[in-house]
Structure 1
Amino acid sequence: MSLTHIGDSDLAGFPDYESSCSVDEGAGRAIREVLDRVGDKWSLLLIATLRGDTLRFSELLKHIPGISQRMLTLTLRQLERDGLISRTAHAEVPPRVEYELTALGATLIPIARTIGDWAMENHPAIVESRERYDARR
């Protein structure tokens, strides 16, 4: 739901309501780009997994069930490109590559934790709602 579809009564009591009612084109693009990155299937899980740790690729694969090597590689590259994680390649035999959050990436930890807590708390209600919806179909 966009801000233009929210009624006045939905936002009563929220600070800066008037200024939040319209999102200029540049801000809208910025919001979409960032949400596309951190709102995908794997990015927040990867960020949460790296909180306070430096991990190798194989360790990340073990910590994130269901992610393929290809998807992990793509997600790591995108997060590195956006400056949210850093990649350090050590000149050793065999080669060792480690990943860790940057200072910018670490700012997402409280957000990831909040979303994760919300998901765990509300998952049973969501499953129940889906079952009711599917039963009507």
Structure 2
Amino acid sequence: MLSSIDPRGQRFAAAVTTFVLAIVLVTGSGWLLAVQGAVFAAGAFAGPARSPYGLFYARVVRPRLGPPRELEDAVPPRFAQAVGLAFAVVGVIGFASGLTALAYVAAGAALAAAFLNAAFGFCLGCEIYLAYRRLFPSQPNPTEVAP
């Protein structure tokens, strides 16, 4: 593992994301979806631990919990953040162009994935990443950034 993260932080971030995306669906706020998209972008490009929710977890929540029993590889959750970003971008485009049904479907799909992680610890984006790696083991890691 090149980098490891606290899996409890991922569930915390998923819970916050679930809450934010629920507000997006109730209010129809494309701006709030864009903010969530920026959070996804930070998780995808800088890593989940360096996203706003990850930093909050590390500084405020984790000290109250103590160290985790185990760590997990950061690559699958980073890929999951990229998938979330893609859905957020589609949703923002939907809101901006008047295709609100598209926006709601995209935000709803991201909400469903975040809820699965928050409530059950099942990271759908992580599972997609692992399936990709099983199908294409010789392909480059899709989350690596070229030098």
- What TM-score bracket applies, with the shorter chain setting the length? under 0.3
Higher share in helix = 2
Normalising by structure 1, we get a TM-score of 0.27
With CA pairs under 8 Å and 6+ residues apart, which has the higher RCO, 1 or 2?
2
Higher share in strand = 1
